[in-house]
Amino acid sequence: MKIIITGGEGQLGRELGQIFKEEGHTVLQYSKQQLDITDRTQIREILKKIESELIINTAAFTKVDRCETELEKAYLINGIGPYYLAVEAKKKNIKLFHISTDYVYSGDKLSPYEEEDTPYPKTIYGKSKRLGEELALMACENITIIRTSWLYGHGGQNFVNTIKKLSNQLGEIRVVNDQYGCPTYTKDLGIVIKELITRPPGIYHVTNSGSCSWFEFAREIIKLLKKQTKIIPVSTEEYGLKTRRPLYSVLSNKKLNSFDIKTRNWKEGLQEYLKKECADKNED
């Protein structure tokens, strides 16, 4: 199979490239400089030259605070870009996978969100990502939307790397303790995406299993790193975030499990990630 990955230089794009290449597929990973998903003409020209069977869109504007002030950029990349991809994919009869987010939900629910739950985003990031979902679904029937959360992977900035870096600089770190979600390792997400290629199109929630607060996530990172850094729990209000985050955005994997696809617990994924990161950097 010939596969195009947009946002190919990102953490998930890199992971997907590696997974599919190991399976023997031809993978073309495009950075945002090589393929701007907001440029419909560029998309059309690339799809003319390359007869691919699958497009995986990982490109997105994910800076939550900046989305609030850079609205045009947020809606263009997260909303219009996926629509352009969907329109051109339909013309060429190409299967499309689009990566979305837990931020399409309000975070007011107290039980895991299922695919049938009505999205109600409260941030520009969430609203722009929801628009991308709606427009892409409208334009293309052969599309699978993957909602995931708290993503981390190799070769980029993420929460795990931030805590690791701060633990080398500080004796204590303040971390929010009233926001709950599902930490998700890009490798585990990539494996499920590979499995879903042969499944019916639609919307799927895909995360590692289990859930925690950011505080609990940070504490587990410190524990696995065997650091002495103290993690101080604080409320969202005390922390003083510019943009309100969903307080509860745990995604249910029930639909995924109905296809007999399971994901491992987030602690197991984190352990493997840190082990590989430390090995790659020759750390103890």
Answer left, alpha or beta for residue 47, where phi above 0 means left and psi between -120 and 50 means alpha: alpha
The separation between the first and the last C-alpha atoms of the chain, rounded to the nearest angstrom, is: 40
Total count of residues recorded for the chain: 284
Residues 6+ positions from 116 with CB-CB distance below 8 Å? none
Would you please indicate which residues are annotated as catalytic (active-site) residues? Answer: 125
Q: What residue has token string 């609990």?
A: 216
User: By the 8 A CB rule, do 122 and 144 touch?
Assistant: no
Task: Write 231-237 long-range contacts (CB < 8 A, 24+).
Answer: 231/172, 231/173, 231/175, 232/172, 232/173, 232/174, 232/175, 233/175, 233/176, 233/177, 234/174, 234/175, 234/176, 234/177, 235/176, 235/177, 235/178, 236/176, 236/178, 236/179
What is the helix, strand, coil percentage profile of the chain, to 5?
A: 45, 20, 35
Q: Which residue has the tokens 């929010």?
A: 176
Q: Which helix (H) or strand (E) holds 234?
A: strand 230-234
| Token couple for 13 | 């794009």
Q: Is 144 helix (H, G, I), strand (E, B) or coil?
A: strand
